[in-house]
Amino acid sequence: NPHIQDILCKEVNSVMDSNGEIIYEELAKLPYLDSVISETLRLHSPAQRISRLATTDYPLGETGITLKAGQQIDFPIYAIHTSEEYYPKPFQFNPDRFMPENRHNIIPYTYLPFGAGPRNCIGMRFALLEAKLALAHIVTKYKFLQTPNTDVPIKYKRSLGLTAPQRLIVGIEKRLYLTRDYNYWSKRGINGPKPLPIFGSLLDFFIIPQPLQEINWFKKYGKIYGYYFLKNPVLTIADPELIKTILVKDFHVFTDRRFQQLKSRHPVMSKNMVDATGDDWKRIRSIASPTFTSGKMKSMYPRIRECLSDFMNHLETFADNKTELNAKDMYGNYTMDVIATCAFATKTDVHKNLDSLFVLNARRVFNFNLFKLLSMIILPAFVVKKLNLSGAGTNTGTEFFLNSTKQIISTRKQTKKKYNDFIQLLMDVEKGSDDERRDETDVHESHHVNEGKDELESEKKAFNIQLTDKHLTENEILAQALIFFLAGYETTATTLTFCTYELALNPHIQQRLYKEIVASVDSDGEISYEELAKLPFLDSVLSETLRLHSPAQRLARLASTDYKLGDTGITLYKGQMIEIPIYGIHHSEEYYPNPFQFNPDRFMPENRHNIIPYTYLPFGAGPRNCIGMRFALLEAKLALVHIIKKFRERSYIELDWIRKYGKIYGVFEGNTPILSVADPELIRKILVKDFHVFNSKKTNTLLESRAHPILVNNLIATNGDQWKRLRSVMTPAFSSAKMRKMYSMIKTCLNELLDSLDVYAIDNNEVDMKTMYGNLTMDVISSCAFGTQTNSHTDPNSVFVTNANKSLNPKPYRLLLSIMLPKVVMKLFNMKHAIEESANEFFFTIVRQIMNGRKNSKNKFNDFLDLLINLEKNDNNEDHNESHMNAGEEEKTIPKKTLSDVNHYITEDEILANAWIFFQAGYETTATTLTFATYELALNQHIQQKLYEEIQTSVDSKGDIDYDLLTKLPYLDAVISETLRLHAPSVRVARTASEDYRLGDTGIIIKKGQSVEVPIYAMAHLDEFFPNPESFIPDRFLPENKHNIVPYTYLPFGGGPRNCVGMRFGLMEAKLALAHVVLRYRFIESIRTDRPIQLLRNLFLHTPKRVVVGIQKR
């Protein structure tokens, strides 16, 4: 009955511990094991009969039979057990008869394998224990099979009294267990990731990068969960109080760090402080601690500074040429030089000589072989030894450093010469006092946020040991020297790399740090050890880097005895590992609001009280924290001070040009010279006062006459009188009255978006908002331009949507060819234009059909096409210019003067061209603005909350906002305005001179036909015009602050008479969408949210590749 065997095996496995053992209490509670034994005793009762003697005459119930004194009676157990009256299908082996839920069907005294009454089998309990224990272990290790020699039915021995088989031959094979050991946590009711055979949960860190997986697990399973390191169950604990108990209060239980599989098997390296256990660790740590005191750090300070000078000289070559550099490699070279100097008194000259023996062997040590590492973890020790897998790094590199260190020690002993490095300190060191572990400068640093009375007492107690030998052996010195090199190289280089990355992304933070540093250095540009330790913002920047990009993702401890974990009901057994998910804790929104945002202010002295103890653990905590913490911070801080003081990371190329060349400079577009002007007063003259000279836009290759004979007639591509006529005709289409008529059409499209977002929000999923907003704006433009419903959310493959996408997103090669090739050559490729002809013709056909239908209809439509067909003369009584910070008297009068006295008509081709441009311009720019706005709100929860509160207090009882109210919400307007500043869709605006023009008092003459560009994007990111320009600060645009904005530094819609005609429509659509989306959902940064945001390479627009954020229903 192999199926019964498998059921039994599964049940037993469910209670076995990680060592394949089962406790007495668990054994007694296994119902199926008990049922299997019971059914065996029924079907194959060892005793076939039970006998009793009557001691007196005895009437047998109502049978009329009298048993005489001395007469025997027998109970035929075997016959009763195989009676069909009592046991249906009695010769079938069916343990289910004895399962708890079925036992009531068994008639009392029809099951008598041990007899009954006072004279039943006294050894029954022992026999059952023996049988169950044996069967439990046997059935989980072996599988029994029927073979040709297995007797069916079974053949019994001829015997009196006992049932025994003549023989019992079965096949046997060993069970191949892949998952037996992976029920440890589930049977204890502890959640965790599902393990895989052999590897447990280990492969999860290779499928998804460990930092992302840590965040996933923390969010999914909470603060206590279990996972499997191979077959070993590991408990993960993220509760701060329990962490403190483990690392500090009960440190005596959790002194050791990790499983045997993870410890070095090298005869020397196994003696390093990381792998040492128990009293060995206490002795080594106690002796080595004085090497990292404040006094020792001061003595090494000049040596680190010397290494830093070499590093700075190397950086100079990159900075002089303003080229990119790989910060990771550069900082790796720096930390290698520092460790070589401070640990081995060796100069590597690593920046110039990458082929030195020291550098080559160092890289071998760090060149971890993943296959080798996994083999060391998985394979038994004797196999590892046989294959010579003593370390994951290359053995030749390790041996080089060990031999070099031996030689250094030997030479120093012979010469008696003293050096000021780590090896010398280890050679000379003796156990120091408790006070030596403390530093007077520690009070200034955030990593002491967890320290209090308990921590100091625990450390004192941990190191209160009597040492018979106060010195380290040579092998112990070798091991500590190499572990110092291994630990100090990668972690500090990584921290500096991430810090540089964050400073490059946050120039306002970099500038703030720069100001603190400049104010602290002396006249020679140097900074003392004591002064370095007192810089609060420098410490905060490094602390936030270590939080956001923790070098260590987990911290492990082993229980030295059985241990009850607080009041959780969980018992950790001796030898069991617990881990603290540092990375997951550091990225928990419960402990760190906006956890993915780089915000050093969290660690400023006035804010440190907000950090919950034991939620910040980059160096661990308790007596077994990182011994080299003070050295690492010194090395990193000193490097940052001098680098930030001297160099700045590059951001945007146009910003660099303005900073380098000023607000007026020349560039070339191909062979064409272009003058860039970033001076607000000159911009105002070009766009407004002297608009009559600059009324033409620079030719756009995609939109010029060679691009398409119809599309050339659109408002953006036209110039001169044709532009004036078209602008005059089209301006009324965007009046306030027309916007009101389109308002309800936009709301209808918006409901489709909200229905689609609901699907993601129900389960708190992630969503790509660029795609969602793209669908919305396509629906809006289709509806408001042509009265056509596209249903982009539900039908992305419709003919309209497919052709629209072809038109909106021309293939890059077609665009490039249309720019570079003459018409004659394009014809050879059967290409007339950049955009596929089929897409344009589909579009024109649709518009022509709509136009013809409406000409013969008396119905009125409130869309853009209807307004063009039934155009009216501009009503001069209505101000069609958006009121903004650039508006003045000239801004109001010049457009009216420019557009006066023009003929008032529009051709069919012009209607087609402008319907097309309205679709093109209105789709991408509004979708991009909404996408960037949602991204910034997800990263800035306090701003999102403030916006939500403004909207929530403004909607009516049905949750709606009318047109007039929408235009009066100041914070909503400020959020949209700040989005358009920080992420301006248009990178620059261009104008072409219609005559020779003298540019103010600059002495520059702009020749007729020459183009001038205004770098909109760069100007919006200048600190001169917008303090902290890389920060998202909507308050800049609140009514009470708008006066601080210099006119013509904020130009997302251009300026002057030729500004964006659809500005009012775009703002209405964006505000209405954002208001309803924020009112209904909360957006959060997720693990797939790009930081920094990834941009598409686009000749004309500033647009993201994607913006994935988390979404939650409010």
CB neighbours of 346 closer than 8 A, spacing ≥ 6? 340, 358
Other CB atoms within a 10 A radius of the CB of residue 527 amount to 22
Residue of 358, 471, 334 lying closest to 407 (CA atoms): 358
* 547-550, Cβ contacts within 8 angstroms, sequence gap of 24 or more: 547/586, 547/592, 547/602, 547/603, 547/616, 547/618, 548/498, 548/502, 548/586, 548/587, 548/595, 548/596, 548/598, 549/494, 549/495, 549/498, 550/582, 550/583, 550/586, 550/617, 550/618
Give the list of residues 6+ apart from residue 972 with CB closer than 8 angstroms, or none.
947, 950, 951, 966, 1071, 1074, 1075
H/E run at residue 564: strand 563-565
Pair 756, 778: CB distance under 8 Å: no
User: Measured on CA atoms in the order 347, 352, 354, 356, is the torsion positive or negative?
Assistant: negative
* Strand partners for 1013: 676, 990
307 marked ligand binding residue = no
Q: Please work out, in degrees rounded to the nearest 5, the angle formed at the alpha carbon of residue 488 by the alpha carbons of 247 and 552.
A: 45
Closest among 333, 336, 358 to 408, alpha carbons compared:
358
How far apart CA 82 and CA 110 sit, in angstroms, is 10
Q: Are 572 and 565 in contact (CB under 8 A)?
A: yes
For residue 355, the one-letter residue type is D
Asked if residue 987 lies in contact with residue 653, where contact means CB atoms within 8 angstroms, the answer is no
Structure tokens at 332: 């790796």
Q: Is 845 helix (H, G, I), strand (E, B) or coil?
A: helix
Comparing CA positions, the residue from 1001, 990, 1017, 1096 lying closest to residue 658 is 1017
Report whether 139 contacts 112 (CB < 8 A): no
Residue 603 region by backbone torsions, left for phi larger than 0, else alpha for psi between -120 and 50, else beta: alpha
Maximum Cα–Cα distance for the chain, whole Å? 143
Answer yes or no: are the C-beta atoms of 460 and 315 closer than 8 Å: no
Residues 770 and 1106: beta-carbon distance below 8 Å: yes
**Contact (CB, 8 A) for 834 and 814:** yes
585: phi then psi, degrees, rounded to nearest 5: -65, -45
CB 77 within 8 Å of CB 112: yes
Q: What is the DSSP string of 264-296?
A: --STTGGGSTTT--HHHHHHHHHHHGGGGSHHH
Task: Measure CA of the first residue to CA of the last residue in the chain; give whole Å.
Answer: 56
Question: CA separation (Å) from 323 to 315, 326, 470, 660, 1030?
Answer: 10, 10, 53, 14, 22
Gap between the Cα atoms of 20 and 180, Å rounded: 9
Instruction: With beta carbons less than 8 A apart as the criterion, state whether 1065 and 739 touch.
Output: yes
**Contact 980/1052 with Cβ under 8 angstroms?**
yes
Going by the DSSP 8-state scheme, the letter that residue 195 receives in this structure is P
Distance, CA of 1047 to CA of 1051 (rounded, Å): 9
Binding site as annotated, residues for heme: 1060
Binding site as annotated, residues: 1060
